[in-house]
Homo-oligomer: A and B are copies of this chain.
């Protein structure tokens, strides 16, 4: 479980205890950022080793944003994200083994190997899906908020999306509906400056993305996504507002340290940009700050790295040893309600009774 989750349970404290708790929280933030960083690095390696397939988008550079946002959610709140969601899955408290197993496409994966990197889902931890279609999660998240409102529940939905996603129609339709119906939802723009290779300036006529909330009379704000504390506080405020039935638009400004996906060399980046990014790393920045403030020291950092290394290695081992889904399960998830005449035919099977020659095995409609 993410360290910050433990913090959530701490009761009101006396001042001295409080400052100690604060240090605990700051270290927890750092530790969680390290967990995401190392997990993603391990995933990148597994991809190059062909243990992971398809598209694989990493949270490298977004660790502070992810930690700050997720630490503000109640366990009962719901989360919808885009396809760049490994870190979010970890921070929602999903076992890293199951997250890595999903990347490997194994039966113990959070989506049983059916979703892969882009499509992690876990109802108990209320991660209602990473989604591969740009903008696809927004109407869904709006509908989840509608269901909460319909039942008079007190949960809130958080829906993250990328900067590039603010240009798509679903963004407009969803924010308008959410604001019109006063739904408990926070839309979070993770502004990492790029679509795939397209900058915000080239994609959005209003580059200060949070200002788009105005078109829906929706309260909005922008926060520094390299600062997990500031992000946590901004998210807490947004969630509080949404819980009162006033949807909120939060823009979290961050960076994407690597290519769009594992296979993207990001050649479109200028030398200066590449150079700049070397020195703009939320993990370094936050770690240095905490060290300067005496909250962290080399030993503590080493200990954290060691703990995390153990988790990540264990996750990779677990994933590697988890079985591949059996071909016999291919037709298990087409329909939730079984239906007459459903096609359960493999490509090699004829529509009607097999002909004399040895016919392939498998189900038959």
Contacts and interface: CB of A to CB of B under 8 A. Distances in A.
Interface of A: 167-173, 175-176, 179-180, 202-206, 211-212, 214-218
Nearest to A205: B179
A216 B209 CA distance: 10
A105 B10 CA distance: 75
Contact of A204 (B171, B176, B214): B176
Contacts of A173: 167-169, 172
A180 B167 CA distance: 11
Contacts of A176: 167, 204-205
Contacts of A212: 215
Nearest to A218: B205
Nearest to A212: B215
Contacts of A203: 180
A180 B168 contact: no
A202 B171 CA distance: 19
25 contacts: A167-B172, A167-B176, A168-B172, A168-B173, A169-B170, A169-B172, A169-B173, A172-B172, A172-B173, A176-B204, A176-B205, A180-B202, A180-B204, A205-B216, A205-B217, A205-B218, A206-B214, A206-B215, A206-B216, A206-B217, A211-B214, A211-B215, A212-B215, A214-B214, A214-B215
Contacts of A217: 205-206
